[in-house]
Amino acid sequence: MSRSDQDIANPSLDWIVEQAIMLALKGIRFGSVEIIIHDSKVVQIERNEKKRKEKKRKEKKRKDTL
């Protein structure tokens, strides 16, 4: 069976790859998703997410004058 015949025989494999890519993208705010392809096939999906520490603003103390 040739590679194209295998693809036609197993269409759910494409759906699984699409879902894996969507899962890698879900909820990412800063970072990247890398898809590794060999021989026209997705063989690896890498997700690199950067976590950013939120900076808290310092509130200036206000002196009330009476």
At 38, list the tokens: 């060999």
Report how many domains make up the chain: 1
Helices (H), 1-66: 3-9, 12-25
Domain membership of residue 22 as a residue range: 3-49
Considering the entire predicted model, what is its pTM?
0.58
Q: Output the pLDDT for position 52.
A: 78
Task: Categorize the per-residue pLDDT at 66 as very low, low, confident or very high, splitting at 50, 70 and 90.
Answer: low
Cβ 20 vs Cβ 45: under 8 Å = yes
- Does any domain span residue 18? yes
- Does any domain span residue 20? yes
Is 17's pLDDT higher than 60?
Answer: yes
Q: Output the pLDDT for position 38.
A: 94
- Does any domain span residue 29? yes
Task: Identify the CA nearest to 36 among candidates 16, 55, 23, 21.
Answer: 21
